[in-house]
Amino acid sequence: MSEQIIIAGATVLAIGVIGFILLRGWQGWLDLKNRELDMHRPKQERGSPEGAARIELADLKERVRQLEAIANGVEL
């Protein structure tokens, strides 16, 4: 009986250690992939993302105005 408890405890401990090692490896792999993605993302020169979104929105509105003018036959 005592022998079985020792074997069961060692098995549970081994599974726990293997699980911990696999989890650390998975987290390391995810960190590596995040760094690879960050290297390929264009860096913003300055300003906030909200400011860039506002500029893009204003640009889109201007394009819509131009297309509406063209559709109405108005020369720009």
| pLDDT tens per residue, range 9-66 | 999 999 999 999 999 999 999 999 999 988 887 766 666 667 778 888 889 999 999 9
- Within 13 A of 44's CA, how many CA atoms are on the CB side? 8
> What does pTM read for this prediction?
0.49
Calpha distance 19→26 (Å, rounded): 10
- Whether the per-residue pLDDT at 76 is higher than 70: the answer is no
Q: What is the pLDDT of residue 54?
A: 84
Q: What is the pLDDT of residue 47?
A: 60
DSSP E strand boundaries for the chain: none
Please tell me the distance from the alpha carbon of residue 24 to that of residue 35, in angstroms, as a whole number.
17
Please state, in angstroms and rounded to a whole number, the distance separating the CA atoms of residues 20 and 16.
Answer: 6
Residue pointed to by tokens 């400011």: 51
